[in-house]
A and B are shown apart, each in its own frame.
Chain A
Amino acid sequence: QTVVTQEPSFSVSPGGTVTLTCGLSAGSVSTKNYPSWYQQTPGQPPRTLIYRTYIRSSGVPDRFSGSILGNKAALTITGAQADDESDYYCALYVGGDISVFGGGTKLTVL
């Protein structure tokens, strides 16, 4: 079974920069995995931040950016704000008409 890996937790200082990553248990992530990133706060549906590796969804501030770093997809938040404190999930297309979510990263801003 393909496993998508994310850091369980991360912390960043207000105004700081943080990079969350999304990897595969076997192999490297590429643009062909169509990496997407989601932000979720309690009781709310996920909000799509980034799709197809680096395309920001409408209304998403440009301090959120997506990329491929090494063999993983990455979400970078530049100038973190208090309301960025959320759970962040990535999803990858892993082939065979199947997508998989990562386990999520709990981001703390303090």
Chain B
Amino acid sequence: QVQLQESGPGLLKPSETLSLTCSVSGASLSSYNWSWVRQPPGKGLEWIGYTDYSGKRNYSPTLRSRFTILIDPSKNQFSLKLTSVTAADSAVYYCARGRVPGYWGQGTLVTVSS
């Protein structure tokens, strides 16, 4: 059974850098693409970007500049980094399997507040 689990800080101050990790079990990173999705409170889902096993990655054209997705096959994890966060980045962040998401993690709430 595929399981994905997000981890990272729940509260950041404006201008800080958000780092989230997705730990994957029950599936090999090498066999699939891996995505990050976010959902601001009360709003819809937003695809952030994806990576494959080799590190090939791409991002939503509307979000590209501040996000970085990395993969660490040795730990069966992939990660998301977002620089210079603002209140508008407050959201539930999900990791998922597939460039079009299939299996999802439970999500982690990130709040940006001074």
A→B interface (CB under 8 Å): 1, 34, 36, 38, 40, 45-48, 51, 57, 87, 89, 91-93, 96-104
B→A interface (CB under 8 Å): 35, 37, 44-47, 50, 56-58, 60-62, 94, 98-107
Residues of chain A within 8 A (CB-CB) of B44 are 87, 89, 101-104
Given A45-B94, A93-B99, A101-B45, 5 more contacts at CB 8 Å?
A: A1-B61, A38-B101, A96-B58, A99-B101, A103-B44
Residues of chain B within 8 A (CB-CB) of A97 are 50, 56-58, 99
Q: Is the CB of A101 within 8 A of B102?
A: no
Measured CA separation A103–B39 after assembly (Å): 11
Residues of chain A within 8 A (CB-CB) of B107 are 45
Looking at chain A's contact residues, is the secondary structure mostly helix, strand, loop, or mixed? Answer: strand
Measured CA separation A38–B56 after assembly (Å): 26
Q: Is the CB of A46 within 8 A of B50?
A: no
Instruction: Give me 22 A-to-B residue pairs in the complex whose CB atoms sit less than 8 angstroms apart, sorted by A's number.
Output: A36-B100, A36-B101, A45-B94, A45-B105, A45-B107, A46-B104, A48-B103, A48-B104, A51-B100, A91-B100, A91-B101, A93-B99, A97-B57, A98-B58, A99-B99, A99-B101, A100-B47, A100-B60, A101-B45, A101-B46, A101-B47, A104-B45
State how many angstroms separate the Cβ of B38 from the closest Cβ of chain A: 10
Contact partner of B45 among A47, A89, A98, CB < 8 A?
A89
Q: How many A-B residue pairs lie within 8 Å, measured between CB atoms?
A: 64
Contact partner of A36 among B57, B62, B102, B105, CB < 8 A?
B102
Q: Is the CB of B100 within 8 A of A99?
A: yes
Known contacts A91-B47, A99-B50; A45/B99 CB under 8 A: no
